[in-house]
Structure 1
């Protein structure tokens, strides 16, 4: 090696050492933006599947410049409390069942009307109420107007709510009598139970497992995957899958925070949510049969079937007129939703 070569090599080595000494050299760059996304449930349950998929898509689309910190398991409190935290900007985003956001934006109660929809596709399929499109645009506008700060940017479901009981099959309306039933504290949902002649216990979701285990309640309703993913099968042995009400989850963002982003970053958030909506809808269809099989084969759960579904629907839909006052926009918004489901047009 010549003297000149040694000098060149020495300079190169010095430059490499200088670069490695710089702050952050040799490590991944820190995200420019970190947002917190909260939801109620375990990471492997439907709410968590959506949240973590959304986070991964944001990271990919932003080349790691935007990070999503997913807050699993209801660590921000009840869903109603979490919705309020998004409204105030304490948390930037959340995935929450529509009935628990309706306290802040009553137009969402239209999604809680019993038998408004009859299939998952009407909710999250192409042209569904929660899929990006003209109906959700109108819904988002109403939610923002009513709440002052909540923007609907996505939507998902894990199918319709099923009836769960500890000790017996629920296969006709008469079977509800005498049961201590937990139900969300939502006036539209309460009216549905009233139409069936049942009084319910408005216990917070975070307290439901304990209430079932201790015998405070002996029945409740929720989508079927909740029983498997949250361990309710230890106490729940009978499931009646019905189609009176889907779990309609809305992804909400604090609008001031969202609008405060530059256009490119905001586009990443919205595109990631749109992609997650579509992927989650496909995932729900895929796992439904797997969940039922696991509950039946691995945990001894019995699936029951309604003998009188027409009676359930007739009574529940008969309560709609008294519920119009609880829906933001009243009968006009309800009628517009029905028309959209029938024609695909928002009028």
Structure 2
């Protein structure tokens, strides 16, 4: 009897040990992002998590860290390159210091429609960016977050034409091309870290900033901004990236799951944007924000192409980068 009980205890311990071992073997993938969970980035990351966990039958767990919980986007990008963070969603402006060609995607009035945005990130151009990323940045692109056009907000007056923009202090990201564009349009652009933006608007250190509707609403900019202008000079794109070595070190099945989940999240993210941007616009209007459509956007475009484009070919890796985009965008 004693021997039987002993054997049962031993078997139970072995079984428990095997179960514990399997539980601890569950792979965990951390995803960092700068924006909150109810943003475009959050929608993309949430769908990525659902897809990975579903396709792996729960054997791979995805943990999301929104709102800069793992640091600024530049820091997360560095950690992805080093392999200390598996995945991050990073705006193209923060990728350009590591891979200059990405600055081409911020060229004013190069991407002018949703169709352009999809063409610029899929097919030939999608592969083009991924190959450059692997070669120069040490990371691969799993998918793209589409965040729509960056609209200009401010607290001082309606901006319906270039004259209205004159001398307004507009917060812009650390991007030389966008800085030059706003200068050429007569504004007073102020490069500033994203984390400092809301406080700067609140304290009237700057008059305004520029971001898509969903970002503007989820960041509560309607609390400190009275006007929004529907400009179409730049389409906001934020790729989800993974380190080259991180992806290469995965087994074939895991790599296939991660890759497929990135594609599914990209498709979902585009639909989310198209549906939710209008909701965010209406919500901001309900909060009292006045919307203005540009009366002279052709002039904004002309100034950008004549005064800004030629100055920054070297900054984006050469004129051939812009020519490649124009060719494959059908322009």
1:140 aligns with 2:130: yes
Partner of 1:64: 58
2:270 paired residue number:
281
- 1:75-224 to 2 correspondences below 5 Å: 75-124=69-118, 128-131=119-122, 133-147=123-137, 149-224=138-213
CA deviation profile, 1:137-194 (whole Å, cap 9, x unmatched)? 11111122222x1212211211000000112111111222221110000112222122
Contact 2:228 2:289 in 1 (8 A): yes
Deviates more, 1:100-109 or 1:17-26: 17-26
Question: How much does 1:259 deviate?
Answer: 0.7
* Mapped contact 2:43–2:272 kept (Cα < 8 A): no
- Rounded to whole Å, the distance in 1 between the matches of 2:248 and 2:259 is 12
1:296 to 268, 285, 289: 285
Unpaired segments of 5 or more residues in structure 2?
Answer: none
CA RMSD of aligned residues (A): 2.3
TM-aligned CA deviation for residue 18 of structure 1: 3.3
CA displacement at 1:249 relative to structure 2: 1.1
CA separation in 2, counterparts of 1:280 and 1:121?
Answer: 15
Larger Rg: 1
Residue 109 (structure 1) shift: 1.1
Tell me the equivalent position of 1:3.
none
Compute the displacement of 1:245 (Å): 0.3
Check whether the contact 1:108–1:143 (CA below 8 A) recurs between aligned residues: no
Aligned length: 326
From 314, 338, 347, give the equivalent of 2:326: 338
**Uncovered stretches (5+) of structure 1, i.e. residues with no partner:** 1-6
Distance 1:327 1:231, change over 3 A: same
SS of residue paired to 2:168: coil
The alignment's TM-score, normalised by the length of structure 1, stands at: 0.88
Deviation of 1:195 after TM superposition, in Å, equals: 2.0
Q: Secondary structure at the match of 2:90?
A: strand
C-alpha separation between the residues in 2 aligned to 1:162 and 1:136? 25
TM superposition score normalised by structure 2: 0.92
Summarize the Cα distance change of 1:22–1:58 in structure 2 as closer, same or farther, 3 Å threshold.
same
Match of 1:250, SS?
strand
